[in-house]
Chain A
Amino acid sequence: MGVFIWHDWARFVSLAASIYLVWAGYWAIFYRKFFWDIVGGIVRDPGGIQPSRGAEPFISVIVKAPIIQIMVIIVSLITLMVELPAPFIKGTSIYRSWTLRIVLLIFQAFLGVLLYQGTNGALYSLIAAYGYTMAQMKGETMPEPKKGGGRGDRA
């Protein structure tokens, strides 16, 4: 009945997902674990899962060096900058683009799902990306940002 504006909703989910992933990426630097190491891995006592040979490339960028973690943090921070938006992005074509947001969200979901801590964030990112896809399909557009912002007009 009421008009559900997809991009307004997707923005909140996207904010939640991106903040989740920044936080998850931070913790993943200290507790490094490849989420899919269970595939073909064996459990050693103590020591936990020993990943199979096939997982070697992932282990080298997640456990040996926290590269994916740092990438997840950077991409999520970029998403946050677009979503909040940062002052220098407000009003630019980047700010008005759904496609860019969908790409960023899917990318951060892809990175997030590799990490033990990042799967929920990845799921929320995909939900947000779905929201933006719906916004794209419905032809929603981002309105020009209000000067001064805030809820002052409600007074």
Chain B
Amino acid sequence: MPESWFHREFLTPRKLCFNVIWYGLHFFLFGYGWHSQATNARLAGLNTLKWSVWSSRGAGLVLAFDGGMILVPMLRNIIRVVRPKLAWLFPADENIWFHRQVAYQMAFWAMVHTTAHYVNFIRVEQTQIRKQTALEIHYTQPGGITGHVMLLIIVLMYSTAHNKIRAQCFEAFWYTHHLAFFFMIGLYTHATGCFVRDTAQPDFIPTFPFYSTDHCLGYLSWRFTIWPGILYFGERVYREIRARRSTKLSKLLVHPSGAMELRIVKPSFKYTAGQWLFIQVPDVSKFQWHPFTITSAPEDPYVSVHIRQVGDWTRALGDRVGAGPSVVQAMTQAALKAYDKDEKTTTALGRGDFVELDPASSTRPLPVVRIDGPYGAPAEDVFKAEVAVLVGAGIGVTPFASILKHIWYRQRRGDLGSLRRVEFFWICRDAPSFGWFQSLLQEVEAAQTDPNFLRINIYLTQKISEDMLWNIAVNDAGADYDPLTLLRTRTMYGRPDWKAIFGRIRQAIESGQYLPGSKSQLVTKVGAYFCGPSVLAKAIKEEAMAACTSNVKFTFAKEHF
């Protein structure tokens, strides 16, 4: 049963805390704006309009706040820098979520503000406290013009940003969202008409900001809200400059499962395991940036991403590099045939083989690529826990490629921090479609000297046919390697039982057999890291928290993409 709305919003301490602060702040600002207008003796003229002007001013102050906040969660580079210090204070990975919360508030208060102004202006016209008509204020003064334009931009931006539209046509969302530029211009200039004044006529002056602050008594909120705008603009410029630094696509490997591996050399690009980047291929699209998880470890001499040809952009990229769907299909079949032969002789290799695309053999050289990043991801925390439980579901397994490689490198260097054991879980519907990941797991597994350090658990949730069942039953018995994944680890079928898994880990730690010597320790920290669908995240988090005891502490972190 899904938890109720009330439970989610009010009975979860963090959420409750956010809700109280967030809505409290909005209502406080509204109340303060209302009060400061209603009690301002210099604005007595405007105050004859009574509640409509008070609410428009209150909502105006709220909107100024939201207008400043809307860009803050999008300052990706700044967030990346401050997140290690401030991760305890706010969930830095939830920046898009927060961006949406600001947007919802903006829509609501824009409704209040606009409604109130429609009343204000008709009352101005009727009472003629200013010798103007309502339509003059609406359509000839800066406040009215920018307001109507911003409302229209809101309709266009919100409607294309909806999950459904974004999923089916990212470009529509991406390009439309750049109307934000005009929106912000509108926001900063909204008050230049000097509607809030104590004189009959607006007091315009020839110098910046072109109205006299002696008589124009607005909030002057642009002085504050413009800073996130400037920072964001600066960040976009910086990203552009950084993206132009020398970048070379050095190798392009095609894995039999259809995934393309791009190995990119960019000396100025520094990152940690588990982070992601934006990639752009001008030959495919000049303006589009697509996010991908980095699959190489920071120790690798290149940056790699694995791209499956599932969307239109990725397919176009495949065509461009000469690894279109037909090529990949042919290769997959060739590989499968080879694999069928290999199976009889039970060699461990066969599926992990990849083919390097040779640029010399094709008529076009490898395309120019540009990368922007890195961003996000709490993977460095892995080394702060004694036991790391890494859970990847489906395509969410990708960041763990980098993390596992990184752990492997650090293991070789003997620099594992407090990390003693790694439990890796991979839940997927059909393992063979992630052939490239299996080959990576093979490498990592084969390199293990301590059999207890890394445990790989693979869960296959797909419904298996009777033929496959027999196949597994016959091939599995007595073989050194799992018939499906070719790992020493056995594949498990069905969904993992998290309660039992965390319970077992806790018991094993408490009895002292899991981590030799850990008895002397007071608290053992078990960090669970998850990447995948949020429904599963919730279930895992609950079970991890339920398994906490006084001397075994579970923490949970998840990654978004």
CB distance from B331 to the nearest CB of A (A): 25
Complex Cα–Cα for A9 and B172 (A): 10
Cross-chain contact B128 with A47 (CB below 8 angstroms): yes
Complex Cα–Cα for A13 and B153 (A): 12
Cross-chain contact A45 with B131 (CB below 8 angstroms): yes
CB distance from B143 to the nearest CB of A (A): 15
Q: Is the interface of B mostly helix, strand, loop or mixed?
A: helix
- In the complex, which residues 171-193 of chain B have their Cβ closer than 8 Å to any Cβ of chain A? 171-172
Complex Cα–Cα for A117 and B164 (A): 31
Query: B533 within 8 Å of A by Cβ?
Result: yes
User: How many chain A residues touch B (Cβ–Cβ < 8 Å)?
Assistant: 33
- Residue in B122, B127, B168, B288 whose Cβ sees the most chain A Cβ within 10 Å: B122
Cross-chain contact B119 with A23 (CB below 8 angstroms): no
User: How many chain B residues touch A (Cβ–Cβ < 8 Å)?
Assistant: 39
Among A2, A12, A116, A117, the residue within 8 A (CB) of B169 is A2
Query: A145 within 8 Å of B by Cβ?
Result: no
CB distance from A19 to the nearest CB of B (A): 9
Query: B158 within 8 Å of A by Cβ?
Result: yes
Contacts of B126 in A (CB 8 A): 46-48
Instruction: State which of B33-41, B73-81, B309-317 sits at the interface with chain A.
Output: B309-317
Cross-chain contact B312 with A116 (CB below 8 angstroms): no
Among B133, B155, B169, B172, the residue within 8 A (CB) of A48 is B133
Complex Cα–Cα for A16 and B162 (A): 13
Cross-chain contact B168 with A33 (CB below 8 angstroms): no
Contacts of B535 in A (CB 8 A): 154-155
B271-293 toward A: CB 8 Å interface, digit per residue (1/0)?
00000000000000100100000
Contacts of B155 in A (CB 8 A): 13, 16-17, 124, 127
- In the complex, which residues 1-43 of chain A have their Cβ closer than 8 Å to any Cβ of chain B? 1-5, 8-9, 12-13, 16-17, 23-24, 27, 31, 33, 35, 38, 43
CB distance from B364 to the nearest CB of A (A): 20
A91-119 toward B: CB 8 Å interface, digit per residue (1/0)?
00000000000000000000000001100
Cross-chain contact A49 with B125 (CB below 8 angstroms): yes
Cross-chain contact B122 with A9 (CB below 8 angstroms): no
Contacts of A1 in B (CB 8 A): 169, 171, 285, 288, 312-313, 316
| Known A-B contacts A12-B162, A120-B148; A31 and B122 likewise in contact (beta carbons under 8 Å) | yes
CB distance from B463 to the nearest CB of A (A): 16
Query: A81 within 8 Å of B by Cβ?
Result: no
Query: B159 within 8 Å of A by Cβ?
Result: yes
Query: A55 within 8 Å of B by Cβ?
Result: no
Chain A residue at smallest Cβ distance from B122: A31
| Known A-B contacts A8-B165, A46-B127; A38 and B135 likewise in contact (beta carbons under 8 Å) | yes
For the complex of A and B, the 4 pairs showing the least CB-CB separation, nearest first, are A2-B169, A12-B159, A48-B125, A4-B169
A-B contact pairs, 6 of them (CB 8 A): A5-B169, A8-B165, A24-B118, A38-B133, A44-B128, A49-B125
